[in-house]
Structure 1
Amino acid sequence: MRIYWDVPIEMDDGLVLRADLFLPVEEGRYPVILSMGAYGKGLAMQEGFPSAWNIMIEKFPEVAAGSTNKYQNWEVVDPEKWVPDGYACLRIDSRGSGRSPGYFDSQSAREIRDLYDCIEWAAVQDWSSGKVGMNGISYFAQNQWYVAKHQPPSLAAICVWEGFADLYRECCYTAGILNEMVANTVEMQMNTVQYGRGVNGPRSAVTGQLVCGDVTLSEEELARNRFPIRKLIAEHPFADEWYAERSADFAKTIVPLLTAGNWGGQPLHTRGNVEGFVRAASSQKWLEMHGYEHWVSFYTDYGIDLQKRFFGHFLKGEPTGWLKQPRVQLQIRHPGDTFVQRMEQEWPLARTNWTKFYLHADGGLVVDEPDSGAPKRLAFEALGKGLHFTTPPLAAPMEITGPSAAKFRISSSTENADLFLVLRVFDPAGKEVLFRGALDPKTPVAQGWLRASRRKLVPELSEVYRPYHAHDEDELLTPDVPVDLDIEIWPTSIVVPAGHRLALSILGRDFEHDEAPSGLSNMKFAMKGCGPFTHNDPADRPVDVFGGTTTLHFDDGARPYVLLPVIPAAAGA
């Protein structure tokens, strides 16, 4: 490869961003794979995210094969696996990050304007074919949604790999409940590579350059040069314009796109990918859903093949057969981290048997049979063990693939309540079957959330299987007066074996399993079943409000149920 370090890209306000450019040896014009983000282009994945790298290489040694791995960088393509195929790879440190100076304001209008300008800059360089594609995971995926709504002329295709699209609903406030992961991630993974850390930051093992610029600022100066994430989130508790600026506008998303989500990516790396596929205005869009860790599938032979067939068609005009690719490619999940690939044409699947599983006051979870008899009530301490409902052992395997929703009538002893729903599987011996999540290696099948005061729906965006909440105001409860809730449970896929039981837990706090916690080097706390996506902020969830008693009502005309996407077995299966 020809490699150019710290290529200057001047923005419309005169500030110069820095990028690393990887080109084939032969002179020519090449399509561009572009990424821009806040993790430091000079920080090797092996150094910045060692546990993630080690997990990936141990389980999928193919990732390290065929590359020196010197240029592996967190959540972006390995140029050694792309440049030989005739691509230019351009990695850009976003404003205020790595070696790019300026005020760090993650995914703001200013940052997305920079990204737009970088796309158009790349298109007119003498090494560029004029076609630019974006590829990458998480941060490098979600900003694809954000820039796509501005429709840069040279953006020919995007591959959004596990990237949320709605900063409020999928990131900062999970269904109205403050998600502590956001601020923790910014502080641990972005502020640590902020421009100006200089000699106090890491140094590139390849170039010897300081990853965070050649200027060394004090902690006070650094703090003044970045957005105060915790303060801003607290100041914006509703889905207002601040979030809209930092979220997708699917009606304006017309670029060809491949969106890839993770069944275990709740509540960050699943919903946005599915919503993007369903709602984007693009006539050329494809959905892929997989499992395993959040960062793994992107780098495997499976992931790279999918990406190269997509970009080969849209950036190079190669006969990759992409237009024959089914619109939906699913890795159907089975216990034991087993996945079976299946091609589909739509989402949700047209043949879905939407099935109501009614909650019975005796703890049963029963198909299409509301609890009979006089109205009943079940109460639980919001911060306690919750309520649990279980099916009988299944007589035959049952596939659940798609979004789910619950409809409850609840009351609270206080003026509010948070609901945490957990879809679970138990084996014939009664042991819970946990699944490898995107970040947490031991997660339940699916989860859903809702703050009761944020129960107002947006009718034009709601479906019976996926309620959509406005989150624009609080409608506080009157203590002990029941209200109706429609609760979204994020998309999932699982084939539950015969003899196993399906269960639904209703909690007033985050789910935690009974096994030993797990950890990652880039995460602040140990993980106990919901990864780093915890909801324990005392300012957002004061105990005197969210530590009361929640009551589930079994009333005539409002029997509680969960609607699950049961997929009929194929003929002859």
Structure 2
Amino acid sequence: MWVERDVPLAMSDGTVLRANVYRPLGGGQYPVLMSYGPYGKDLSFQEAYPVQFAAMVEAHPEILEGTTGKHLAWEVADPERWVPFGYVLVRVDSRGSGRSPGFVDCFSPQQARDYYECIEWAGSRPWSNGKVGLSGISYYAINQWQVAALRPPHLAAICPWEGVADWYRDANYHGGIPSSFFPRLYGVQIESVQHGVGSRGRRHPHFGVLAAGDVDLDENELMANRADVAEELRQHPLFDSYWQDRSADLSSVEVPVLSAGNWGGQALHLRGNIDGFTESASEHKWLEVHGEAHWTLYYSAYGVDLQKRFFDYFLKGEGDWPDEQPAVSLNIRYPGEVFELRGEGEWPLARTSWTKYYLDVADHALSLEPADEASTISYQPFGAGVTLMSPPFQEATEITGPIAAKLFISSASEDADLFLVMHLYDFDGIEVLFEGASEPRHPLSQGWLRASHRELDLARTLAHRPAHSHDKVAPLVPGQVYEVDVEIWPTCIVVPAGYRIGLSVLGRDYDHGGQGLPTAYGVEMRGSGVNVHDDPVARSAAVYGQPVTLHSGGQHASYLLLPIVPPA
């Protein structure tokens, strides 16, 4: 293939971004697959992420069949796999990152406009057939939603593989509770390849290219050339124009969509992938949900085949994608990381039997009938919380879809952070954990709500999906009982006969209690990955560490709403 490095892409404000272009040999016009982001187009996957790379190829050795792997980069397509299929790959370093100069402002309107201009540049090249598709994981998926809403004329299809749509609710303020994930990632994965790190950064082991540019800027210059993400998040605790500008307007997304999510993508991408499917305006859209780690299946034979059939149809006019691909393709999950691929026609599934399990805090139970007698239990939010258990299931039972909880709570302070955790327990009462997108020992599902953010957006709220406006704070009166609705993120599990489900109500992140796994982000993975909520100022013990009381029975019929799916 032809490889052109640092191809200049002049933006309308005069900034010149740099791209790598990988093309089939010879003449002709081809569809384009593009990615645009801050992780370094010339940063070697194997060198920068050796642990993840080793785990990926061990699980899926076919990833290195027919490729040297020299052109692999984190969370974007391998040109050696795709160019032989008759595609041009264009990999762009976003403004201020890698080998592109400028100011780093992730998911800003400026970056979305840049992406629009890059798409239009690629769609008008002599080697392009005029159709551009977008491909990539995580960051490279999130900004697909954003730019698709701007409707670039040459954009023909998008495949956001595990990507947030709502930058506030999906990633940074879960239920209004601030997460420290993105500021940590920003320092490790984005600042390290900021344009101007230059010779202090990594050099590609095969091509000798400095991933962060040839210019060496001092630390003050680098700081002046990037947004202070941690400070910006602190300054915007409510959903305002800052978040609106950095979240996709899904109602304006009309291009064909293949949205690929991960059952283990709690606290990051799964919610966005499902919302992208249900809320985008496209007449041609598909949802696929899988398991395994965040970055693996995209590169696997399964993932490449799925993407290729989609892009072949919409970028080349080849194949029978709409006839052969169900609207919803779910890898139904069983304990032990066993999956069974099944096609469905919609989300949530039309045959769902929405089933209420009522909380009985007196007996620490989840019951199909509400308790007549009122009861209460108090817990220390930063402690063990309260866990309630269902009876053993009498037969194998599938739970697939969104989950909601209605709770009645009171607090000793003017606010309370509610962390809800769904569990699966085996015959012996031992919790069954799952491989998450970025956490190898994850609970069944999780949900969050800051009680002062309890006001619902009634126009968007559904019984199985409470939606909160997050635009104002309504403090609690200590001791007063409040009704709150909590969104618990979608999940999928076939519960074996004899197993139980559980619900924990906590005031802190879930911790499986076992040995934590180290990360590069300054936090151990202990069941919640790196998506933790540990800001000591935003979650002060004086407010959020005070006793909370959970009410059930009588006039306070708290319940968990589960999507039980009968056989088709």
What is the identity, as a one-letter code, of the residue corresponding to 2:177? I
| Superposition CA RMSD, Å | 1.0
- 1:230 is paired with a residue whose SS is helix
Q: Percent identity among equivalent residues?
A: 48
Q: Is the Cα contact below 8 Å between 1:355 and 1:367 reproduced in 2? A: no
Q: Is the Cα contact below 8 Å between 1:363 and 1:390 reproduced in 2? A: no
Give per-residue Cα distances to partners, 1:71-97, cap 9 Å, x unaligned.
111000001110001000000000000
Is residue 93 from structure 1 mapped to residue 110 from structure 2 by the alignment? no
Superposed counterparts of 1:464-543, under 5 Å: 464-520=463-519, 522-543=520-541
* In structure 2, C-alpha distance between the alignment counterparts of 1:5 and 1:323, rounded to whole Å: 39
Give per-residue Cα distances to partners, 1:407-437, cap 9 Å, x unaligned.
0110000000000000001111111100000
* 1:449 counterpart residue number: 448
Q: Is the Cα contact below 8 Å between 1:331 and 1:341 reproduced in 2? A: yes
Superposed counterparts of 1:110-509, under 5 Å: 110-373=110-373, 375-509=374-508
* In structure 2, C-alpha distance between the alignment counterparts of 1:297 and 1:363, rounded to whole Å: 43
Is residue 55 from structure 1 mapped to residue 55 from structure 2 by the alignment? yes
- 1:214 is paired with a residue whose SS is coil
- 2:419 is paired with a residue whose SS is strand
* In structure 1, C-alpha distance between the alignment counterparts of 2:344 and 2:351, rounded to whole Å: 11
* Structure 1 residue 555 displacement after superposition: 4.9
Give per-residue Cα distances to partners, 1:248-295, cap 9 Å, x unaligned.
111111111000110000010100000111111111000000000001
What is the identity, as a one-letter code, of the residue corresponding to 1:549? P
* In structure 2, C-alpha distance between the alignment counterparts of 1:85 and 1:569, rounded to whole Å: 39
* In structure 2, C-alpha distance between the alignment counterparts of 1:391 and 1:376, rounded to whole Å: 18
How many correspondences in the alignment? 568
* Structure 1 residue 568 displacement after superposition: 1.0
What is the identity, as a one-letter code, of the residue corresponding to 1:552? L
* In structure 1, C-alpha distance between the alignment counterparts of 2:70 and 2:473, rounded to whole Å: 51
Q: Is the Cα contact below 8 Å between 2:171 and 2:269 reproduced in 1? A: no
Q: Is the Cα contact below 8 Å between 2:366 and 2:388 reproduced in 1? A: no
* In structure 2, C-alpha distance between the alignment counterparts of 1:234 and 1:366, rounded to whole Å: 37
* In structure 1, C-alpha distance between the alignment counterparts of 2:321 and 2:185, rounded to whole Å: 39
What is the identity, as a one-letter code, of the residue corresponding to 1:526? E
Normalized against structure 1, the TM-score is what?
Answer: 0.98
* Structure 1 residue 367 displacement after superposition: 4.2
Q: Is the Cα contact below 8 Å between 1:131 and 1:315 reproduced in 2? A: yes
Normalized against structure 2, the TM-score is what?
Answer: 0.99
* In structure 1, C-alpha distance between the alignment counterparts of 2:470 and 2:361, rounded to whole Å: 31
* In structure 1, C-alpha distance between the alignment counterparts of 2:363 and 2:34, rounded to whole Å: 52
- 2:146 is paired with a residue whose SS is helix
* In structure 2, C-alpha distance between the alignment counterparts of 1:444 and 1:379, rounded to whole Å: 23
* 1:545 counterpart residue number: 543
* In structure 1, C-alpha distance between the alignment counterparts of 2:137 and 2:319, rounded to whole Å: 26
From 558, 561, 565, the counterpart of 1:563: 561
* 1:107 counterpart residue number: 107
What is the identity, as a one-letter code, of the residue corresponding to 2:427? P
* In structure 1, C-alpha distance between the alignment counterparts of 2:410 and 2:547, rounded to whole Å: 8
Q: Is the Cα contact below 8 Å between 2:372 and 2:553 reproduced in 1? A: no
- 2:459 is paired with a residue whose SS is helix
* Structure 1 residue 175 displacement after superposition: 1.0
* Structure 1 residue 376 displacement after superposition: 1.5
Between stretches 358-367 and 440-449, larger displacement belongs to 358-367
Unaligned runs of 5+ in 1: none
Between stretches 204-213 and 7-16, larger displacement belongs to 204-213
* Structure 1 residue 321 displacement after superposition: 3.5
Between stretches 329-338 and 203-212, larger displacement belongs to 203-212
* Structure 1 residue 363 displacement after superposition: 3.6
| Structure 1 residue runs of 4 or more that deviate by more than 4 Å after TM superposition | none
* Structure 1 residue 519 displacement after superposition: 3.5
- 1:288 is paired with a residue whose SS is strand
Q: Is the Cα contact below 8 Å between 2:21 and 2:88 reproduced in 1? A: yes
* 1:554 counterpart residue number: 552
Q: Is the Cα contact below 8 Å between 1:309 and 1:322 reproduced in 2? A: no
* In structure 2, C-alpha distance between the alignment counterparts of 1:268 and 1:321, rounded to whole Å: 29
Q: Is the Cα contact below 8 Å between 1:260 and 1:289 reproduced in 2? A: yes
* In structure 1, C-alpha distance between the alignment counterparts of 2:425 and 2:370, rounded to whole Å: 23
* In structure 1, C-alpha distance between the alignment counterparts of 2:393 and 2:468, rounded to whole Å: 33
* Structure 1 residue 53 displacement after superposition: 0.7
- 1:82 is paired with a residue whose SS is helix
Q: Is the Cα contact below 8 Å between 2:408 and 2:484 reproduced in 1? A: yes
- 1:287 is paired with a residue whose SS is strand
* Structure 1 residue 364 displacement after superposition: 4.4
- 1:232 is paired with a residue whose SS is helix
Unaligned runs of 5+ in 2: none
Q: Is the Cα contact below 8 Å between 1:361 and 1:371 reproduced in 2? A: no
Q: Is the Cα contact below 8 Å between 2:371 and 2:553 reproduced in 1? A: no
* In structure 2, C-alpha distance between the alignment counterparts of 1:125 and 1:45, rounded to whole Å: 28
* Structure 1 residue 150 displacement after superposition: 0.7
- 2:53 is paired with a residue whose SS is helix
- 1:292 is paired with a residue whose SS is coil
Q: Is the Cα contact below 8 Å between 1:441 and 1:518 reproduced in 2? A: no
Q: Is the Cα contact below 8 Å between 1:409 and 1:560 reproduced in 2? A: yes
Between stretches 48-57 and 131-140, larger displacement belongs to 48-57
Give per-residue Cα distances to partners, 1:375-394, cap 9 Å, x unaligned.
21111011110001001221
* In structure 1, C-alpha distance between the alignment counterparts of 2:522 and 2:147, rounded to whole Å: 30
